[in-house]
């Protein structure tokens, strides 16, 4: 098994690597270019599965939204659009810092890259903290679907409002889970960046992590108006 593998690595050895870092090409690839293209396509394919994963929930939302528009508006007015809006801003800025960290990797600015990775992670964490307080207040107000759900609060639309909150918790919960995965990913990216794995020649790891981060961000960009801004806030009940 060794001869042809050594051969595959041959022209890679010329590239200077920090001590202790493995040659970047796995031995089932011909060259670095093939490996990077493969990794990138892998991430894009994974994101397609994610689109379908969330897609089913978007379908459920669309069906019930069109069946019970009044109930959805009423229930939506119980969400805090200011917190949701703040979180939207947080995520958009985190996408910016993510993009800047990749740019810093491309231009070989190691410290800038590390700072931006940390900022991205901090913004992600901020999002989750805000989300926690939102969830907590929903739980306290008995708006969490389940045995404690306060059906009476919505008058005749009680059961339908519960469906709204079911979808709200399923979608934002799934999104929050993806944020947690994103934070773990940022931890991995940080360690790798610190070890000097990302160079202007090879920054695929941080690049495809960025793809994931932007995707999760994008899901929220759809969730925010769909769940928080149904038009009821203009005249709906205040908190």
Partner 1 sequence: MSSTTHTPPGQSREAHASAASEERSTYLTDGYGWKSWLLTVDHKRIAVLYLISISFFFLIGGSFAVLMRLELATPKGDVVDAETYNRLFTMHGIVMIFFFLVPSIPAVLGNFLVPIMIGARDLAFPKINLISWYIYVVGGLITLWIAISGGVDTGWTFYTPYSSTYSNSQVAMTAIGVFITGFSSILTGLNFIVTIHKMRAPGLTWFRLPLFIWAQYATALIMVLATPVLATTIFLLGLERIFRIGIFDPTIGGDPVLFQHLFWFYSHPAVYIMILPGMGVMSELIAAFTKKRVFGYSFVAFSSLAIAILGFMVWGHHMFTTGQSPYASMVFSVLTMLVAVPSAVKVFNWTATLYKGSIEMTTPMLYAVAFIGLFTIGGLTGVFLGIMAVDRHVHDTYFVVAHFHYVMVGSMVMAFLGGLHFWWPKMFGRMYPEALGRFAAIIVFVGFNLTFMPQFIVGFQGMPRRYHVYPEEFGVFNLLSSAGASILGVGYLMPMLYLPWSLKWGKKAGPNPWGAKGLEWTIESPPITHNFHGPVVVDEEAYAYGEIPHAPKFVERPEEESKVVR
Give residues in contact with partner 1 (CB under 8 A): 1, 3-5, 7, 26-31, 33-34, 37-38, 41-42, 45-46, 48-50, 52-57, 59-60, 63-64, 67-68, 145-147, 159-160, 162-163, 166-167, 169-170, 174
State the minimum distance, in angstroms, from the CB of residue 116 to partner 1.
26
Of the pair 3, 152, the CB lying nearest partner 1 is at 3
CA of residue 136 relative to chain centroid, distance: 21
Closest to 164 in 3D by CA, of 84, 92, 225, 73: 73
Shortest reach from residue 65's CB to partner 1, in Å: 12
- Residue placing its CB nearer to partner 1 in the complex, 12 or 37: 37
Evaluated on CA atoms 147, 150, 154, 155, the torsion sign reads positive
For the chain, what is the radius of gyration of the CA atoms? 23
Shortest gap between Cβ of 87 and partner 1 (angstroms)? 23
Name the minimum Å distance from CB 107 to partner 1. Answer: 27
Nearest to partner 1 of 131, 162 (CB atom)? 162
**Cβ 86 to partner 1, closest distance in Å?**
27
**Pick 92 or 156: Cβ nearer partner 1:** 156
Sign, Cα dihedral of 227, 47, 126, 177: positive
Q: What are the distances in angstroms from CA 163 to CA 91, 130, 152, 157, 238?
A: 27, 23, 14, 10, 21
| Identity of the residue, 6 or 92, whose beta carbon is nearer to partner 1 in the bound complex | 6
Neighbouring CB atoms inside 10 A of 83's CB total: 15
Chain position carrying tokens 């961000």: 217
């Amino acid at each position: 098994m060794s001869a042809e593998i050594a051969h595959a690595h041959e022209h890679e050895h010329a590239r200077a690597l920090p001590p202790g870092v493995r040659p970047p090409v796995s031995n089932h690839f011909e060259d670095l270019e093939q490996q990077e293209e493969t990794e990138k396509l892998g991430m894009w394919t994974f994101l397609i599965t994610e689109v379908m994963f969330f897609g089913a929930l978007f379908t459920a939302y669309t069906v019930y939204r069109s069946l019970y528009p009044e109930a959805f508006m009423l229930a939506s007015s119980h969400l805090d659009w200011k917190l949701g809006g703040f979180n939207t801003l947080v995520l958009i800025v985190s996408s910016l810092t993510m993009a800047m960290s990749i740019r810093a990797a491309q231009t070989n600015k190691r410290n800038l890259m590390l700072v931006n990775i940390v900022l991205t992670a901090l913004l992600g964490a901020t999002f989750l903290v805000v989300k926690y307080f939102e969830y907590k207040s929903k739980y306290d107000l008995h708006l969490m679907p389940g045995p404690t759900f306060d059906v009476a609060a919505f008058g005749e639309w009680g059961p339908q409002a519960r469906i709204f909150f079911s979808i709200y918790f399923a979608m934002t919960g799934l999104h929050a889970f993806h944020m947690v995965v994103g934070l773990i990913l940022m931890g991995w990216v940080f360690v790798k960046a610190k070890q000097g794995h990302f160079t202007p020649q090879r920054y695929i790891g941080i690049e495809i992590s960025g793809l994931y981060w932007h995707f999760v961000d994008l899901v929220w960009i759809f969730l925010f108006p769909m769940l928080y801004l149904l038009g009821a806030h203009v005249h709906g009940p205040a908190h």
